[in-house]
Amino acid sequence: MFPATLRFRLALGCLLLTCLAAAAFAAEKKPAATLSTEIGRILDQPDISRGFWGVEVVSLANGNQLYSLNADKLFTPASNTKLFTTAATLAMIGPDYKFRTTVETLGTIDKHGRLNGDLLLVGRGDPNISGRTLPYNTRTERKQPPLQVLQELADDVVQKGVRFIDGDVIGDDSYYAFERYGEGWTQDDLVWEWGAPVSALTINDNVVFVSIQPGDHAGDKAFLSIAPYASYYQVDNRVITTPAGTGPRRLYITRQPGANQITFWGNIPLDDQGASEAVAIEDPASFAAQVFRQMLEQRGITVYGHTRTHHTELARLTTITVNATAPAGGGELTATPPTVPQPLVLGSYESQPLSQDIRVILKVSQNLHAELALRLLGREKGSAGTIEAGLEVLHGFLAQAGLQNDEYVFFDGSGLSRQNLVTPHAIVKLLSFAAQQPWYTTYRESLPVAGIDGSLADRLKNTPAQANVFAKTGSLGHVNTLSGYARTRKGDMVAFSIMGNNHNLSTPRALEAIDQIVEAIVDYAPAAQNKK
């Protein structure tokens, strides 16, 4: 017999050994972390799980589906819509396409420099008549004057010998239909840069920049400045300077649709560094005509006429008028197109290649430029420069890419419409199709890069995803999305789509959840294996 104390120690030792063995066995049986378990863990968090989430991940090497959750459900895509518009534009218009803006007249110039007729500034959809530096390089830069192209065109008119204009100065954006806004846009969008009106004659992204600085003393009105062309808006300034230390500033802006008056109110502390806002203009062609007339007059040209616009109303596009005549002796009717007089071109500007603007659209999520691309599709490859014609061309392209009609519904080209719908599976199919096209490199390199540039510049920094994820962001109220390409730890490329709808998360929390899923994709996506 062992002494009681020794028997107790032996029993305790056996118990400990048994516990350790059981723990080791449990550890061996515990499933290793996988892509599915990691994404499930993220989406099972109580505040995250209240939203509606869809995710799909597919290997580009073999097409294998690596993860899927609600991938066939329809979601509001927000700016993930731009993935579709830009892919179609690269495929059907081509990366080398260039826009041309001209100054024209149907009149004549006499020996005294008198132009007997109207002077037209004709836009054909160039999105980058602005001070934006191209090519885009990690961030938006505006080093050139925003109206430099118009200044050069005004110089061209002077060099052609024009000294007097008997007619009007016309802003002509008739190349595209006069459809400034998309279906499903909200009224409060229309005041700001992201809801700027669409026009074939686009100047400075169709916005003016408003700078707001505190006055000299508490109680003074704040100092407001508007550029370019400060006289375009009638400004009602009701912003009051408050004593130092009474922050934060509270600034509000109101502009009624159709009005050229803009009201600012609120307060700004005396020690505030100031604020800057980009405010949408009402009619871009009218803005351009007013600016251009001012430039001509500054160069000594006298304009006797008015300033006006030339739009193409949608109603005109629904009626086609031809001169139909039947040949003698019967037979089929032949349509004789009307004779169009050739204008005298007094100045011309050609843009950089379209591929440069694709980078702008995707890197910084430029809504106006995406809408212009949609209308370009309709004008060049469809029936007219309209939203409807552009969407018809887009649908044809997506059919070629293997997408089904019930996988998406689009009402615009930018994703600002709250009526757009698309499945994660459709996005991944588009991305997989694009990866096999000759324009793929341009497309992928135009996407924001995690932790490096564009709308992902400040996300996924110092993680394995940095510089290895190329993806398009999307954001609306209660909507956050991210779709694109990722290079995994195992060196494989995958296409993915992450869509969150109907959540009540703060923006930082929603982005944190999406970024965690991206990190899981990079960390846990299995190595590519050939299909059996």
The set of catalytic residues is 79, 82, 365
**Cα dist. 432→19, 36, 79, 317, 435 in Å?**
50, 21, 19, 37, 5
Q: What is the largest CA-CA distance in the chain?
A: 132
**Residue with the two structure tokens 């500033």:** 249
Cβ-contact 383, 393 below 8 angstroms? no
Beta-strand relationship, 207-213 and 234-242: unpaired
Question: HSE of 385 in the Cβ direction (CA atoms, 13 Å)?
Answer: 24
**Residue with the two structure tokens 């530096």:** 133
> CB atoms < 10 A from the CB of 83, how many?
26
* Sequence-distant (≥ 6) Cβ neighbours of residue 492 within 8 angstroms: 59, 60, 61, 525, 527, 528
Give the H or E element holding residue 352: none
Q: For residue 246, give the amino acid letter.
A: T
Cβ-contact 527, 490 below 8 angstroms? yes
**Token digits for 464?**
């394995």
Calpha distance 363→192 (Å, rounded)? 19
Cβ-contact 82, 478 below 8 angstroms? no
Beta-strand relationship, 119-122 and 169-177: parallel
Q: ∠ at Cα 105 (100, 106), nearest 5°?
A: 125
Q: For residue 519, give the amino acid letter.
A: E
